[in-house]
Amino acid sequence: MDASSLARRRCCQMNLEQNLKQLEDIAKKLESEELPLDEAIELFERGISLSTSIRTALNEAKLRIEAVVEGANDTFAIEPLDLESS
């Protein structure tokens, strides 16, 4: 893995964590404050957008995850992670 790939992954992870934090903050505001309808709608729309970004980032991460499986004769193979059978 080269330095630019590593930097990109770190950036994506930071963005994911920042997006999660923003989504949590929005949820708290919507649950705890009496907001004007326009502001509540704006927060809701932002939350939906963040949720979509988070879901996309998690799906991309899932595709990158691979499991190393030991086979016969002490050989190893890389297989996609199967979350459905877990």
- 85 lies in a domain? no
Q: What value does the mean pLDDT of the chain take? A: 80
Each residue's pLDDT tens digit, 29-46: 999 879 999 999 999 999
Contact 39, 12 (CB under 8 A): no
Look at residue 33 in the predicted model and tell me its pLDDT: 77
Mean pLDDT of 2-22: 71
8 lies in a domain? yes
In a domain, 7, yes or no: yes
Q: What pLDDT shows up at residue 77?
A: 74
Q: Is the pLDDT of residue 4 over 70?
A: no
pLDDT at 69: 66
* 86 inside domain: no
Q: How many domains does the chain have?
A: 1
Q: Is residue 36, in this structure, part of any structural domain at all? A: yes
H or E segment to which residue 46 belongs: helix 37-64
Is residue 30 a contact partner of residue 43, using CB atoms and an 8 Å limit?
yes
Segment 63-80, tens digit of pLDDT: 777 666 666 677 777 777
Q: Would you state the pLDDT for residue 53?
A: 92
Whether residue 55 contacts residue 20, with contact meaning beta carbons closer than 8 Å, is answered with no
Q: Which amino acid does the sequence have at 42?
A: E
Look up the domain containing 75 and give its range.
3-80
pTM of the model: 0.64
